[in-house]
Amino acid sequence: MSGARSSAIRRAGRTLRSEANAAMALERKQACAHALLNRPWILKEDDPELYFSVKDHYEELREWFMDRAGFSLIVTRSLAKLERTPVVAHEWMGFEEFREVRDYVLFTYALWYLEGKTEMDQFLLSDIVEEVREQMATGGLAADWRHYHHRLSMIRALKKLVSLGVLVLVDGNENDWAHNESNDALYECSPHSRYVLRRFPQDLTAYSAMEELTDPVRYADTLDGTNARKRHRVFRRFLLEPVVLDRHWEEELLPYVLTQRRYIMDNLQRMLGMEGRRYREGLLFFHPELTGEAELFPTLSGASDLVLLMAGELRRQLNREDHSRYVEPDGSIRLERSELEGMLLKLKERYGMYWSKEFREASSAELAAIVVGHMEQWRFAEREDANHILVSPAVARWNADYANMDFGQE
């Protein structure tokens, strides 16, 4: 009897250890997936534990991202990178540090210059800017380093390459050159430059339209190829965009979202831990726990507080029996700019004591610009024209009030 009981206890102990190990493996795999989706890349020198964790789960991660989204997973001796290609390019998907198109042009030409370099090669800032200027001129583009704003654009491009780990600043300071082009700096090339730009499945000359560039892989002209393209486009949008409502989908993709929602929800839950819910406006996904990789709404920015307060005010208005506000069939609400400004003034009177000095001193027009900009970034609103904003029903899933207040007062 004693022996049988001991054997059962040992089996139970092995089961618990096995379940704990499986849970830890799942947690590490999900951490890898989140990092690959939210970082430019994972460098072994910066985060060796995560890098080797990606290598441990390489086969499963590679197969999942390619099969569901068409994303290629690249792992080299020094980095791991997921080639992410958006279906719809949004402004916030660019480099936050860049201010104008010229920054991206110079960033790309700097990468062209680095193609001729090998690891550990050193060169001067004056060398790269001169060769970039000459190469741009051959293509009919102008970079005039006598212009301060042109130099600032080049500095932003170089600083971004340094922050990515593509360049190493050995000596000097780029800002000195921005103020006076006679100043110089010394750089060293890393092995990562060749992995910055996206790799295309075929030569660029084979494309005839910009829209074709959005496909990360070549699809066969067959039923299987068509189905794979649909699946990839749906998963890519859910993986890269915060909110995708039914009205945001192409006509050919919405039926897939509606009929395959359980498959989509199960896959995103298993690989990323994302919880999916079907609402009348669309299929929405939430992170049940905070993650250190993705930026989640609400953010730490005060603009998120304003959006949440505005959402609460809209809910209060709609809950009144005598409200006259029209709600679209999918739950969207159309606001005039003046209505939004009036709502924010009312919120300032009620909650202004809790706001930052910036928000307390801002005009109603400035507050409206902050709120609309933040909601656009999170796809909670769209500007229809200069005077009308369409507020997404997704924002109605949120509400907020400050603690220790009489929330019922009007």
Decide if 64 is inside a domain: yes
Domain boundary among 30, 57, 83: 83
Decide if 232 is inside a domain: yes
Cβ–Cβ < 8 Å for 244, 238: yes
Share of the chain above pLDDT 70, in %: 93
Does residue 218 come out as left (phi exceeding 0), alpha (psi in the -120 to 50 range) or beta?
A: beta
pLDDT of amino acid 81: 97
Nearest alpha carbon to residue 79 among 121, 125, 106, 119: 119
Long-range CB contacts (< 8 A, 24+ apart) of 217-225?
A: 217/66, 217/70, 217/72
Q: Rounded distance, CA 408 to CA 316, Å?
A: 10
Task: Indicate if 238 and 307 belong to the same structural domain.
Answer: no
Decide if 72 is inside a domain: yes
| pLDDT surpasses 50 at 367 | yes
Task: Indicate if 344 and 268 belong to the same structural domain.
Answer: no
| pLDDT surpasses 80 at 124 | yes
Q: What is the arithmetic mean of pLDDT over 46-62?
A: 96
Decide if 406 is inside a domain: no
| pLDDT surpasses 70 at 15 | no
Task: Indicate if 186 and 157 belong to the same structural domain.
Answer: yes
Token digits of residue 299:
């953010």
pLDDT of amino acid 396: 73
pLDDT of amino acid 134: 94
Decide if 294 is inside a domain: no
Q: How many domains does the chain have?
A: 4
* Domain assignment of residue 343, given as a range: 302-397
Domain boundary among 135, 164, 195: 195
Decide if 256 is inside a domain: yes
pLDDT greater at residue 19 or residue 295: 295
Task: Indicate if 321 and 263 belong to the same structural domain.
Answer: no
pLDDT of amino acid 4: 65
pTM: 0.85
Q: Rounded distance, CA 264 to CA 277, Å?
A: 11
Task: Indicate if 175 and 249 belong to the same structural domain.
Answer: no
Q: What is the arithmetic mean of pLDDT over 171-184?
A: 89
Domain boundary among 83, 118, 139: 83
Task: Indicate if 274 and 325 belong to the same structural domain.
Answer: no
Task: Indicate if 330 and 251 belong to the same structural domain.
Answer: no
Position 366 confidence tier, pLDDT thresholds 50, 70, 90? very high
pLDDT of amino acid 100: 93
Task: Indicate if 43 and 125 belong to the same structural domain.
Answer: no
Decide if 201 is inside a domain: no
Position 2 confidence tier, pLDDT thresholds 50, 70, 90? low
The residue written with tokens 């499963």 in the block is 60
Task: Indicate if 79 and 95 belong to the same structural domain.
Answer: no
Q: What CATH number does the domain containing 341 carry?
A: 1.10.10
What's the mean pLDDT when you consider all of the chain? 89
Task: Indicate if 13 and 97 belong to the same structural domain.
Answer: no
Task: Indicate if 178 and 111 belong to the same structural domain.
Answer: yes
Decide if 150 is inside a domain: yes
Task: Indicate if 307 and 389 belong to the same structural domain.
Answer: yes
pLDDT of amino acid 79: 94
Q: Rounded distance, CA 149 to CA 145, Å?
A: 8
Over the stretch 71-122, which tens digit does the pLDDT of each residue have? 999 999 999 999 999 999 888 888 989 999 999 999 999 999 999 888 889 9
The rounded Cα 81 to chain-centroid distance in angstroms is 15
The residue written with tokens 């741009």 in the block is 136
